[in-house]
Amino acid sequence: MPSPVHESITCTFSEGFFDAKAQLPKPMRANMNIVQNQNFNSFGGRYRGSSKIANLAVEFQNAAGELEPKFVVEVGFSEKYEDLVQDIRLWLEGTRGVSVVGLVKFYETPKYRRPDLDNEEIEQFPDITEIRGQHFTFEEEYGPVKFRGLAWVGCISEAFIEVWRRDLATGSAFQDGNRMVGLP
């Protein structure tokens, strides 16, 4: 299940794509679809049999009249960078349709670990329906985030975006341009 971090990032990208879609001529809009958290399994080559849920995908109708992803956004929070690069390779090298993958990666320092609570501490937690945003506190601008003194999220120490494409001559995935860093 996607985390709230994943959802906030994919929502931001989705809004941009929906705004762009609204500017397209009506016949083009009908051939475009924007999806979140959809499972794809039409991978080929060495990736045949693979399955992947896209955080966000922009699909266009191909010559056969089927929707296929062309642009994918992968959001990584707990995943290792190397694993995300493998996901990018799956999208770009395992499909004919996907031509661009955007990678949004967050690093958390120290990496969040679920607190080891005893039964008495667990009983003090309110029902989930009673938890509100104002109950959480930030120690600094990028965290950690605490609820009743317990860390729920560590400090976001780095965030960046990379754009990856498929080399048309070799079919291999490559990072296109420099990493765009979002935190000091």
Domain ranges of the chain: 4-107+156-181, 112-153
β-pair type (173-175, 155-166) = antiparallel
173, with CB counted inside 10 A (0-12, 13-18, 19+), is buried
> Which range, of 102-111, 113-122, 127-136, averages the lowest pLDDT?
113-122
In this prediction, residues 37-48 reach a mean pLDDT of: 94
**Residues sharing a CB contact under 8 Å with residue 77, sequence separation 6 or more, in sequence order:** 3, 5, 6, 106, 108
Per-residue pLDDT at 145: 77
Number of C-beta neighbours around residue 59 at 10 A: 22
124 or 25, greater pLDDT: 25
Structure tokens at 175: 């990072």
For the cut 60, the answer to whether the pLDDT of residue 184 exceeds it is: no
Question: Tell me: the pLDDT tens digits for 140-160?
Answer: 777 777 777 777 777 788 889
Q: What is the pLDDT of residues 57-75, one digit of tens each?
A: 999 999 899 999 999 999 9
Helices (H), 64-127: 81-93, 119-123
Q: Give yes or no for residue 132 having a pLDDT over 80.
A: no
How high is the pLDDT of residue 35? 94
What does the alpha-carbon distance between residue 182 and residue 11 come to, in Å, rounded to a whole number? 17
* 42/68 Cα distance (integer angstroms): 9
CATH topology of domain 4-107+156-181: tt1808, chain A (3.90.1570)
pLDDT value at residue 138: 75
Average pLDDT, the chain: 85
- Distance between CA atoms of residues 139 and 144, nearest Å: 6
**DSSP SS3 for 90:** helix
For 45, the token pair is 């080559």
pLDDT-based confidence at 87, cuts 50/70/90?
very high
- Residues with Cβ within 8 Å of 81's Cβ and at least 6 positions away in sequence, in order, are 105
Identity of the amino acid at 154: G
Question: Which range is most confident: 28-32, 48-52, 136-140, 150-154?
Answer: 48-52
